[in-house]
A and B are shown apart, each in its own frame.
Chain A
Amino acid sequence: MTRLLLAGLAALITTVTACSPMEKDMDTPPESEYQQAEVYAPAEAAVADLVDVLPDFPGFANRSWGEIPCSHNGVDDPNYTSVEIRYQFSAEDSATPLVNEEYVNVLREHWTSLGYQIARDDATEGDGGTYRDIKAITEEGVSIWYSAAYLATFMVSFGGCVPVSDKGEIEYIPPAGGITPGSDGDRVGNYFPEGIPTSHEAVAPFDSPEHFDDQL
């Protein structure tokens, strides 16, 4: 508790001045290993990997790239963001035992066999049936959350809070899981105001890179 009290006090102090080296350090967000533009590829590759593992895969309905603001000393910092890749099944597919239940079991087994730590594995009951959540963090530090709910969704993040990149620096990555690039289900158009690039080579949705070295 003492540590937290000190922390609260420290957070207050930083809003007033930053004179000493320590206070100066408190005014600077923690350094990040990556830039925003660098975190999409590993996250997208993690989804593409999973598609190979899931039996009778029905295809995703849509994908989007979400962002969640990052804070420093209790106040949002517009220079930092946290990226979350979202792949979603249709409501119809989400309601099937395959997607709602079996995929959770498959993922649990798959991630355990790879030695990933399962960070969450639980379920809730309600009028809409059973909603299941399972989450693992890969060796590379990619966080993968599968929410088998009304709209079953993969939410994948990598890098935590990273410095914001200019939109022009973010490269288009074709979607995995059967979504046609640039289609209505490919909801990343806001990152590419000039339109979804057409020059990229079509990537087989079920393939994924062997490693991320050239993408980080």
Chain B
Amino acid sequence: MSELTWERLRDLDCGAIRTLGDAWKTYVDQQLAHTERLRTDVIDGHLGTEHYESDTATQVRDQIAMTADRYEDDLSDYASTRIATTLLEAADAFEKEQNELKELVPLIEQHDFEIEGPHTEYDVNLSGGLHRAILTLDPPQWLCDMCGVKKPDGFWDIDTLKVLFDSVDLYGTAIGLAGQYQDWLRSVMSRAHDADEEAAAALAEMRENPTELPPPLGATYDDLVDDYKDSVSEEVAGEAQAIAEGTSGMSPEQVNEWWDHLSDAERQALIEEHPEWVGPVDGIPVETRDTANRTLLDSQIDGLGDRIAAKEQALQGMDPESEEYEKAKAELDDLKHDKSDLTRLQDRITDDDGSPAASNQTGQDYYLLGFDTEGSGKAVVAIGNPDTADNVNTYVPGTGGSLTGAGGGLLNRADTMAFDAQRLGGGDETATVLWMGYDAPDDLIEATDPKWAEGGAADLESFTKGVRATAEGEPSNFTLTGHSYGSTMVGTAAASEGVEADNLMLIASPGASVDTASALGVDENHVWASTNDEDAIQYAPVHGENPTHEEFGANTFTSDSPREGSDWWKFWEGPAENHNSYWDQDDLNTPANEANDISRDNQAYVVTGQEERVR
């Protein structure tokens, strides 16, 4: 972990980092003017074909052009993308967290708390003075106000006695507030460390060896120039592979710059020859990723078909009673399951003629942004193009989420969210993304473990940065909607890594990994939470404070609880069913129940920036 402390972050001159980044950008622009002059004044000017017409002249022009290309590539890849963008992104990230510190540290000091412990895990504790004040029945005014007691005036009277009797409450309240500040501070520093490490990685991954230059003109030029051109192609492929495998250290914004700088031919070659290096990568435009991922999907389905046929063939020669047969049969079943999941997803997003399908609910095209059959499986599918939309809503499902659901019920739910946003959105375009991009817990027992959310946090952070990086025009109004454990996933990513979102919506949440909305790195006025009053999850806040509680500090909106048990004595059914009922219509068993559609409306209002309508 980086060595950044909260004091260093507080005192950091972010402006100086930004100025340095800007200086590098300016330097790049100045240098690009030189290569432009080489092309116009030299290659097309006094060394132009109208003055010199010979094989040698052509060779000289080519060599100069390649040298200019090489210089521009290096300026783009290193000076601009690696150095300048890294500095500018780091300055933005540090400044954002620094601003949080400037709000938080005075609060800590005003309340007579102290920051203690190693910089990797700060504690916020009551100071000795505050301890003494409570023990001597002289608590500070703010604490008396929070607990609803009158501050004693120094005499042993009824107020003093009340404070004496309420001392446990006073301590509890002070410790609770210190805990919230601790959550906030730890989240700020976690995101700052993350930004620090990402910047360091981006710089460290710059190649130590200087890039190869075009061969010099001379006798060996013809022999060497083809090798040089091949090496340039290999270099692009190597970069693409490193980016896809996560070893490049580049942020989605940097990936986007890198992609933009490639030639059309280079981009096309990567899409056709290595779709696996294009489709899953945050920072590459959505339409391109969709094209590459659809190619990958076809290829994986075909590959699974071949493996299933081979496995079935192998099974025929085995003893059905043997362990080997059992093992092979289990593998075959897994392969069939994977193929079935991928085929269902493909059917859903593809028309009968093989062209990309549109949602039947909104008429918006589906875009496949990623998929994986490992574990429970993953898939990221957009309804509408996030690069061009006015609003982007990303739905993160919870417990039980899987690739199977991504081609079925989860995408149905996302379709309903998209439909509601279109119905209420006032003509703005809203892209709705199903982000089943993490390995979700399979059941409620597994959902008590934060490891699933921690495992997906960096990927969700990267996805949100990718949405920002590839957006065309004005940035969209971007909402992350987490349902059930999905809200823990959203909260964990927001608190520990930082997400590029305007709004967070935590629905039926068992906790967002922190005790206060302030710790989520998003303006708490744009953190929303809702849990219906029958949902059993409200009694199991295993991942931090219930986000709908006042102490958490989020906005709340109404969601109803339309589900009832199928029989009067099946008391467990209603509270369990109401955990997932936030998009449901009424239950036939209770036709006169409250309408639950208000939750759908409220969600759509947040997503489309109409908070004034939320109830």
Contacts and interface: CB of A to CB of B under 8 A. Distances in A.
Interface of A: 1, 3-8, 10-12, 14-16, 25-26, 30-33, 62, 64-76, 78, 81-82, 84, 86, 88, 91, 117, 119-120, 124-128, 131, 133, 135, 137, 141, 143, 145, 147, 149-151, 153, 155, 157-161, 187-190, 193
Contacts of B405: 69, 76, 78
Given A69-B413, A78-B409, A151-B423, A190 B360 contact: yes
A170 to B, nearest CB: 13
B610 A126 contact: yes
Interface string B474-496: 00000000001000000000000
B423 A157 contact: no
Interface stretch (B147-155, B196-204, B592-600): B592-600
B536 A187 contact: no
A30 B570 CA distance: 10
Contacts of A161: 587
Nearest to A189: B360
Contacts of A73: 444, 576
A75 B399 contact: yes
A124 B608 CA distance: 15
Q: Which residue of B363, B415, B537, B585 has the most chain A CB atoms within 10 A of its CB atom?
A: B585
Given A69-B580, A124-B613, 16 more contacts: A3-B575, A5-B539, A7-B536, A8-B536, A11-B576, A68-B584, A69-B408, A69-B413, A70-B580, A74-B484, A76-B400, A76-B580, A84-B585, A119-B592, A126-B613, A150-B424
Q: What are the 7 A-B residue pairs with the smallest beta carbon separation, nearest first?
A: A69-B409, A30-B566, A71-B580, A8-B536, A7-B575, A10-B572, A75-B400
B360 to A, nearest CB: 4
B443 interface: yes
Contacts of B583: 68
Given A66-B361, A128-B610, A131-B424, A74 B586 contact: no
Nearest to A152: B423
Interface of B: 352, 357, 360-361, 363, 399-400, 404-405, 408-410, 412-413, 415-416, 419, 422-427, 443-445, 484, 534, 536-540, 565-566, 570-577, 579-581, 583-589, 591-595, 597-598, 601, 605, 610, 612-613, 615
Given A11-B536, A68-B583, A119 B444 contact: no
A64 B605 CA distance: 22
Q: Which residue of A67, A133, A145 has the most chain B CB atoms within 10 A of its CB atom?
A: A67
25 contacts: A3-B571, A3-B575, A7-B572, A7-B575, A8-B576, A11-B575, A32-B588, A66-B415, A74-B399, A74-B536, A74-B576, A75-B399, A76-B400, A76-B410, A81-B412, A82-B584, A117-B591, A120-B594, A126-B612, A128-B426, A143-B595, A145-B597, A149-B423, A157-B585, A157-B586
Given A10-B572, A76-B405, A187 B361 contact: yes
B572 A91 contact: no
B412 A68 contact: yes
Given A7-B576, A76-B400, A12 B444 contact: yes
B424 A78 contact: no
B3 to A, nearest CB: 43
B409 A151 contact: no
A67 B584 CA distance: 10
A67 B591 CA distance: 19
Given A31-B566, A88-B423, A187 B360 contact: yes
Contacts of B576: 7-8, 10-11, 71-74
B579 A143 contact: no
Given A11-B536, A150-B424, A74 B445 contact: no
A16 B446 CA distance: 11
B74 to A, nearest CB: 49
Contact of B408 (A78, A143, A160): A78
A12 B536 CA distance: 10
A153 B45 CA distance: 65
B542 to A, nearest CB: 11
B143 to A, nearest CB: 29
Nearest to A31: B566
A208 to B, nearest CB: 20
B360 A137 contact: no
A25 B579 contact: no
Contacts of B613: 124-126, 131
B443 A15 contact: yes
B189 to A, nearest CB: 34
Contact of B591 (A75, A143, A193): A143
Q: Which residue of A86, A150, A189 has the most chain B CB atoms within 10 A of its CB atom?
A: A150
B423 A150 contact: yes
A69 B424 CA distance: 22
A175 B325 CA distance: 53
A141 B537 CA distance: 29
Nearest to B536: A8
A157 B612 CA distance: 28
Nearest to A30: B566
A36 B322 CA distance: 42
A91 B444 CA distance: 43
